[in-house]
Amino acid sequence: MSTPTRPAGLWRLIATREVTTRIRDKAFIGGTLFSVVLIIGVFVVTALVSGGPRSYDVAVVEAPSGVLEGTAAYLSVGEDEPAEVNAVEVDDTAAAEAAVRDGEADVALLTTADGFELVSEDGADEVLEAALRAAIAETVTATNAQAQDVDLEALVAGSEVTARELDPRAAEAGARSAVAFGFAIVFLLTAMGFGMAISQSVVREKESRVVEILAAAVPIRALLWGKIVGNTVLALGQVVILVAVSLIGLAVTGESGLLAGLSGAMAWYVVLFVLGFVSLAALWSVAGSLASKQEDLQSTTLPGQMLLFVPYFVSVLAGEGVRVVFSMLPIVSTMVMPGRIAEGDVPLWQIAVAIASTVVAAFVFVRLGERMFERTVLRTGGKLGYREALAIRE
Amino acid sequence: MLSIHRLTRVYGDKTVLDEVSFDVRPGRMTGFVGANGAGKTTTMRMIVGVLAPTSGEVHWHGAPLTTEQRRSFGYMPEERGLYPGQKVLDQLVFFGRLHGMTTAEAKERAQSLLARLGLTEREDDLLETLSLGNQQRVQIAASLVHRPSALILDEPFSGLDPLAVDAMVSLLRDEVTPEMPVLFSSHQLDLVERLCDDLVILSGGRLVAAGSVEELQSSQEERYRIRLADQADAGALREVPGLEVLDAEDSSALVRLTTLAPEKALVAAQAVAPVVEFARVVRPLSQIFREASA
């Protein structure tokens, strides 16, 4: 069919219809809300598990001066918020033990003839114990030094140890890996979800035969572009919401350091996301146009699913070398590259290769998709194979 | 004028449409009949451009139809197709806009069509909640919303009750302008007879007849029914020279005039017995159709 003219804005009308009907769809709204709730849930659980600022209760008969304050100071080193060590005043040793048993106190610190005794139910929290020992040593040493009339500063001179971090980001490595995984899974799920939506939208129009009226009224290419643009906008919109919720989550849970380090990766993610999604959108449209009924989609969308799942599993399970290569391949790059950027420095040329290859793939896929879509979307009565569709000449 | 010129469609080694040519004249309703598989839908799909012809052309005012002109046509496919889950008015506006109308224009036009089809209260309902008959009314509105330059309607009346047919017919009559060719296919020959001015008959992918209904009906020699009074035997008419009795039963005969003019034949018949009925027999379309498709 010849399509000499392409009245401006036709694809936009199709895209608008695609978007407006979808955002009124209860299943779509529900799915988006579910994702948002899921992300919020992850943050809530993480916050609960990590427990926020540390707080300990120590049962004491008579608080040794300065020890608990010193312990809190040790516990607060390297934390965003100061730790708390509260004294639970008790009358005697028995009361102290009872407090520990009842859970009123984490430990009891009792004075003995030789020094102190740390009483716990079944082994004290290691961090707390270390901090207590350090604080006791410091306080007692200071007291003793004064009693012996020793210049404590002179005594400890030269013993100070300072810390220097070669890779301060290493501490966040776990969080960064999680973010990298998040990038991959969000693209996988979004590309799958919206991909299926595109295929379904095409096959629905075939099933209801409205495509015949559309084809009589507008160039088939405008139909394809309307679907690609409409669904890309929807997918991107959903991802932006999810990313925004995640960013807010990071900020609220005090991970602002992580947040700052990830902004670059997030930006590249959005770029690669759009490119990767557009390349696939053409393929998903073809999957719809090859089918005649919804049931046909299971087989016609298989190549699209494979294009997402295989690289996904390879990238998750494979070693570093494979990931580097995969991060530069089209479509897969969206799942792998932003994650690599989040985890560490990636040479700029590799990012450039990833973008370039995806642009080329998008171009090829859309052109190929246009040809196959034009030839197959008006065919009914049985599904077609990809090879068959490519062989059709009209 | 819409002219179909030697349109041919071949699937593999099967020719479903074989060099079919006919005209669809403006301002008239052209009925398109033929048995199932005769090639009506194939022809219509090629006219609106959703199917490419193997060979042949469609002409518009004497020149090959351009894509732009084609898109200004109104089309109602055989298999109905609209968006089941969208509101009636919304989708009519959408189709109007696809044809270049502004939203306001399309809305006004769609509402006026819905009003004439008695669907004003349903305009905000989802299409799938309407009865099949009402969905079909919306379908015809979708083909009319952009004020098409020609109408191609594939079985527009199938599945409609007589009242709905009347409503749709009167809407069509209102909408057909003197410049607008209308081609509609139908299995309901009585309906075609009532509605159409011209007729195109296909059989097995070939054109067997095309022309105005009167032309087709009078294309063969005139036949008359003669009924005689007082139970007189109509067989006696066989003795009258210049007419041939095709069929005689009791006092009634079907005759073909071979040399006599009708008024002379009446006088000659009166000589046999008093005549109570002398009427020209117009062959119903169903008969033309059967003869043509045989």
Of B154, B168, B193, B159, which Cα lies nearest the Cα of B117?
B168
Distance CA A75, CA A257 (A): 20
The pLDDT assigned to A1 comes to: 35
Of B111, B129, B128, which Cα lies nearest the Cα of B120?
B111
Question: For the packed helices A348-376 and A220-252, what is the interaxial angle rounded to 10 degrees?
Answer: 140
The pLDDT assigned to A148 comes to: 84
Question: Taking CB atoms and an 8 Å cutoff, what residues of chain A touch B67?
Answer: 2-5
Q: How many CB atoms lie within 10 A of CB B71?
A: 22
Q: Is the pTM of the predicted complex or chain greater than 0.80?
A: no
Question: Taking CB atoms and an 8 Å cutoff, what residues of chain B touch A10?
Answer: 98
Distance CA B144, CA B96 (A): 9
Would you give per-residue pLDDT tens digits along chain A (394 residues)? 333 334 567 888 999 988 988 888 888 889 889 888 988 888 788 777 665 557 888 888 887 778 888 888 887 776 666 778 888 888 888 888 888 888 888 888 888 888 888 888 888 887 888 888 888 888 888 888 888 888 878 877 887 777 776 766 666 677 777 778 888 888 888 888 888 888 988 888 888 888 888 888 888 888 888 988 999 999 889 888 888 888 888 777 766 667 777 777 888 888 888 888 888 888 888 888 888 888 888 888 888 888 888 878 877 777 888 888 888 888 888 888 888 888 877 888 999 999 999 999 888 888 888 888 888 877 766 677 777 777 775 5
Distance CA B1, CA A373 (A): 33
Question: Taking CB atoms and an 8 Å cutoff, what residues of chain A touch B79?
Answer: 209, 212
DSSP string, B82-121: --TTSBHHHHHHHHHHHTT--HHHHHHHHHHHHHHTT-GG
**Mutate: best of B11, B58, B98, partner A, most A CBs <10 A:** B98
The pLDDT assigned to A51 comes to: 55
Asked if A216 lies within 8 A of B97 by C-beta distance, the reply is no
Q: How far is A217 from chain B (nearest CA, A)?
A: 5
Burial of A260 (0-12, 13-18, 19+ CB in 10 A): exposed
Distance CA A191, CA A274 (A): 10
Which ranges of B145-217 would DSSP assign to H, the alpha helix? 162-175, 189-195, 213-217
- Helix (H, G, I), strand (E, B), or coil: what is residue B226? strand
Asked if B80 lies within 8 A of A2 by C-beta distance, the reply is no
- Helix (H, G, I), strand (E, B), or coil: what is residue A17? helix
Comparing CB atoms, the residue among B70, B86, B142 nearest residue A21 is: B86
Of A208, A218, A217, A181, which Cα lies nearest the Cα of A313?
A181
CB A340 within 8 A of CB A347: no
Dihedral in degrees, nearest 10, Cα atoms B212, B213, B215, B218: 180
Asked if B71 lies within 8 A of A216 by C-beta distance, the reply is yes
Q: Report the alpha-carbon angle A265-A282-A356, nearest 5.
A: 40
Of B144, B140, B199, B143, which Cα lies nearest the Cα of B165?
B140
Distance CA A306, CA A298 (A): 12
Which residues, at least 6 apart from A322, have a Cβ–Cβ distance to it below 8 Å?
A: A314, A315
- CA A53 and chain centroid, separation: 24
CB B42 within 8 A of CB B17: yes
Question: At A226, which amino acid appears?
Answer: G
Which residues, at least 6 apart from B218, have a Cβ–Cβ distance to it below 8 Å?
A: none
Distance CA A44, CA A296 (A): 41
Give the HSE-up count for residue B23: Cα atoms under 13 Å, Cβ half-sphere.
Answer: 11
CB B73 within 8 A of CB B150: yes
Asked if B79 lies within 8 A of A217 by C-beta distance, the reply is no
Comparing CB atoms, the residue among A5, A17, A210 nearest residue B81 is: A210
Asked if B82 lies within 8 A of A212 by C-beta distance, the reply is no
Q: How far is A379 from chain B (nearest CA, A)?
A: 9
The pLDDT assigned to A2 comes to: 34
Of A215, A222, A297, which Cα lies nearest the Cα of A18?
A222
Element (H, E) at A34: helix A26-50
